[in-house]
């Protein structure tokens, strides 16, 4: 048997992987048009046409509206801004609790803190790594105002059950779709099922403009409030006929014309880039499912997975150790990571309950009577995935090919047939 690279043997793969944005002539042309126009951002914080941004931004929003067949789109300069804006539009504020998964990019939960509200973490289920409806129900209190759902890794959460819980308890549902643009649940796009869907266009996402994002919603009143929060709303709201000023603290979450120009061309590539990911992921899963030690990603029968991330689970009873396996893969030139993120409540901001100032706000404040636990152990499934079972990779994407996937398979084969006591 070949010596493992981690033991000093030859690597399976020398060739680098390519994780760059997929940018072509059309993006270049589109950006050139903006530069030649001399208007790099079309926004003015004043009632009137420019309150809603420039020509390219409006064109981008209209394209997104057509794709999702949804009434309202609000483009912003990041998904983090979008999540914050969405919570503000829903009226979330001091004393409120928002139920959220701990297994997500930090901003999903931080946006709740930014609105002076309290993240309450519910556990995930271990098939698709999204919020477990049963755990959500257990976390609801009289203070709960919203559920923040994340369609993690490109697979939709169990929206039917989540929407039923929300309806029963009169809660808003915000969908964080940063990793799932184009994913389907029961024939509906992720992001069109709850009250508001938020998408990211940052460098690492399926389509990108560097930094950017957008919100979609069927509800005109929420869209209007988001537009105010995006663009210094407190000085514009009255002129626009708004009576309820709750949370109309306007930020500058405006997307530039340059970002919009790139986004609108990128958006036209979304289906093709998703299809590319799906084909590579299916190919890899077919090959890797032959290894008894691994569980390849699943897709619910009512869902379309868009494989923003390719996940594998190490079977608990297979007798292999995940972390050394990941190290061995990396040594072979195959980029896998162990776990995803540390469950968010274990981060120091939650452990020390320090956010605004040094008096414990918003966790301990006169408007808030609750005391949710951020102790280790509160979300055992998320912790088990992070510590022991989950491993993931971003290799299933353009411009990688089936030959590149074969390198991944060869590395797994080399390692899993080695009987090396590092791993077994
Ligand atoms: C990337 C990401 C975000 C944040 O996106 P930005 O555009 O970088 O602010 C939020 N949530 C999830 C799940 C993400 O993957």
Å from CA of 105 to ligand 1 middle: 6
pLDDT of residue 1: 62
| DSSP letter assigned to residue 66 | H
Q: What percent of the chain has pLDDT over 70?
A: 100
Ligand 1 atom closest to Cα of residue 80 = 9
pLDDT of residue 297: 98
Whole-angstrom Cα Rg for the chain: 22
Q: How confident is the model at residue 373 (pLDDT cuts 50, 70, 90)?
A: very high
Q: What percent of the chain has pLDDT over 90?
A: 96
Q: Could you tell me if the CB of 104 is within 6 A of ligand 1? A: yes
Give 195's contacts (C-beta < 8 A, 6+ positions apart).
86, 90, 172, 173, 174, 217, 219, 222
Distance (Å, whole) CA 398 – CA 416: 27
Interval 394-405 mean pLDDT: 98
pLDDT of residue 319: 83
Q: Could you tell me if the CB of 200 is within 6 A of ligand 1? A: yes
Å from CA of 79 to ligand 1 middle: 5
Distance (Å, whole) CA 319 – CA 15: 31
- Which of 74, 105, 129, 208 to mutate to test ligand 1, by most ligand atoms within 8 A of the CB atom? 105
Q: Could you tell me if the CB of 157 is within 6 A of ligand 1? A: no
Q: Residue of the nearest CA to atom 1 in ligand 1?
A: 178
Indicate the average pLDDT of the chain: 97
294-342 pLDDT per residue, tens: 999 999 999 999 999 999 999 877 789 999 999 999 999 999 999 999 9
pLDDT of residue 335: 98
Give 307's contacts (C-beta < 8 A, 6+ positions apart).
153, 154, 274, 277, 278, 280, 281, 297, 396
Which among 177, 156, 164, 112 is positioned nearest to 137, based on CA atoms? 164
pLDDT over threshold 90, residue 352: yes
- Reduced to 3 states (helix: H, G, I; strand: E, B; else coil), residue 13 is coil
The pTM of this model reads 0.98
Q: Could you tell me if the CB of 107 is within 6 A of ligand 1? A: yes
Q: How confident is the model at residue 416 (pLDDT cuts 50, 70, 90)?
A: very high
Give 363's contacts (C-beta < 8 A, 6+ positions apart).
118, 353, 355
pLDDT of residue 424: 86
pLDDT over threshold 90, residue 170: yes
Distance (Å, whole) CA 345 – CA 382: 11
Interval 128-138 mean pLDDT: 98
Interval 38-53 mean pLDDT: 97
pLDDT over threshold 90, residue 70: yes
Å from CA of 250 to ligand 1 middle: 21
Q: Could you tell me if the CB of 105 is within 6 A of ligand 1? A: yes
Å from CA of 355 to ligand 1 middle: 20
């Amino acid at each position: 048997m070949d010596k493992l690279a981690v033991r000093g043997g030859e690597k399976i793969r020398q060739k680098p992987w390519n994780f760059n944005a997929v940018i072509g002539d059309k993006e270049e042309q589109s950006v050139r048009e903006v530069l030649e126009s001399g208007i790099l951002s079309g926004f003015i914080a004043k009632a009137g046409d420019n309150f809603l941004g420039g020509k390219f931004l409006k064109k981008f929003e209209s394209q997104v509206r057509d794709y999702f067949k949804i009434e309202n789109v609000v483009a912003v300069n990041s998904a983090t801004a979008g999540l914050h804006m969405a919570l503000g539009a829903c009226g979330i504020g001091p004393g409120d609790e928002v139920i959220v998964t701990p297994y997500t990019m930090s901003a999903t939960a931080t946006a709740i803190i930014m609105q002076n509200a309290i993240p309450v973490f519910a556990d995930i289920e271990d098939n698709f790594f999204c919020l477990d409806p049963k755990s959500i129900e257990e976390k609801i209190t009289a203070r709960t105002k919203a559920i923040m759902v994340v369609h993690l890794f490109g697979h939709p959460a169990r929206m039917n059950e989540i929407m039923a819980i929300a309806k029963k308890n009169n809660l808003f549902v915000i969908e964080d779709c940063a990793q799932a643009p184009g994913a389907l649940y029961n024939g509906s796009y992720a992001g069109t099922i709850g009250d508001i869907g938020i998408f990211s266009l940052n460098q690492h996402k399926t389509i990108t403009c560097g930094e950017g994002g957008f919100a979609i919603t069927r509800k005109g009143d929420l869209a209007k409030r988001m537009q105010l929060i995006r663009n210094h709303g407190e000085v514009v709201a009255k002129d626009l006929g708004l009576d309820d000023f709750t949370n109309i603290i306007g930020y500058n979450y405006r997307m530039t014309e340059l970002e919009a120009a790139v986004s609108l061309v990128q958006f036209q590539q979304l289906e093709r880039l998703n299809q590319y990911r799906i084909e590579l992921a299916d190919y890899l899963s077919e090959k890797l499912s032959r290894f008894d030690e691994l569980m390849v990603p699943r897709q619910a029968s009512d869902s379309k997975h868009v494989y923003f991330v390719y996940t594998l689970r190490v079977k608990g009873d297979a007798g292999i150790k995940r972390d050394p396996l990941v190290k061995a893969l990396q040594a072979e030139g195959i980029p896998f990571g162990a776990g995803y993120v540390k469950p968010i409540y274990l981060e120091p901001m939650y452990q020390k309950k320090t956010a605004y100032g040094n008096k414990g706000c918003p966790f301990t404040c006169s408007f808030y009577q609750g005391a949710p636990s951020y102790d280790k152990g509160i979300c055992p499934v998320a912790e088990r995935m992070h510590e022991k079972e989950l491993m993931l990779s971003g290799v299933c994407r353009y411009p990688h090919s089936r030959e590149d996937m074969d390198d991944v398979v060869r590395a797994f084969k080399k390692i899993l047939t080695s009987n090396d006591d590092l791993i077994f």
